[in-house]
């Protein structure tokens, strides 16, 4: 019987012989591997954005380009922070008996980080296209990129979840806030 704040695992979500702690460990390892992929790209983009302000051509950009640059740079810092946060949360909560909750928090931080990454990439594309080919192409081009990223990273997975709810692993046991995300 389920207690308060617990939830039965969906069919097919656990591996044979896998208990709640082993499942949380596996989920944490999968989350950290996914974060490694995203973090590398964000770090490269952040370094690129930092270096732009030290180029000779930077002095020639107009007010909109400068604003786009500043917003995109700040978004890249927030994105990097969000993508590093799950590892930091794991480190702070290590061996404190909250592995399942740590995995769920990491999932939420990573999801928000993906959203800010989509905005960061869109801003970077807007800036580069605006400088390279002009605003008339940059705005619709960057908008298209933003829509495509959001569709691939959020709309497509949500569609899968709606189509196959029985195969969804769901939140770890003991997650009281599972319905929020």
pTM for the complete prediction?
A: 0.76
pLDDT of the chain, 181 residues: tens digit per residue: 333 444 444 444 566 777 777 887 788 788 778 877 788 888 899 999 999 999 999 999 999 999 999 999 999 999 999 999 988 888 888 888 888 888 899 889 999 999 999 999 999 999 999 999 999 999 999 999 999 999 999 999 999 888 875 654 555 444 444 444 4
38 is a domain residue = yes
- The whole domain housing 134 covers 22-163
> Is 100 part of any domain?
yes
Do 62 and 92 form a contact (C-beta atoms < 8 A)? no
Is residue 8 a part of any domain in this protein? no
**91 inside domain:** yes
Does 180 map to a domain?
no
| Total number of domains constituting the chain | 1
For residue 134, being part of any structural domain is answered with: yes
């Amino acid at each position: 019987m389920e207690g308060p704040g617990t939830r039965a695992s969906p069919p097919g979500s656990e591996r044979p012989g896998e208990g709640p702690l082993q499942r949380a460990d596996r989920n944490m390892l999968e989350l950290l591997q996914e974060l490694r992929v995203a973090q590398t790209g964000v770090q490269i983009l952040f370094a690129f954005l930092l270096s732009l302000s030290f180029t000779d051509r930077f002095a020639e950009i107009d007010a909109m380009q400068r604003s786009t640059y500043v917003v995109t740079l700040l978004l890249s810092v927030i994105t990097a922070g969000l993508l590093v946060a799950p590892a930091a949360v794991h480190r702070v909560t290590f061996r404190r008996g909250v592995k399942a909750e740590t995995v769920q928090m990491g999932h939420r931080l990573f999801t928000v980080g993906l959203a800010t990454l989509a905005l960061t990439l869109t801003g970077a594309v807007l800036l580069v296209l605006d400088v390279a080919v002009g605003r008339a192409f940059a705005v619709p081009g960057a908008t298209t990129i933003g829509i495509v990223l959001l569709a691939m990273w959020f709309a497509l997975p949500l569609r899968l979840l709606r189509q196959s709810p029985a195969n969804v692993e769901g939140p770890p046991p003991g997650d009281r806030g599972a319905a929020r995300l």
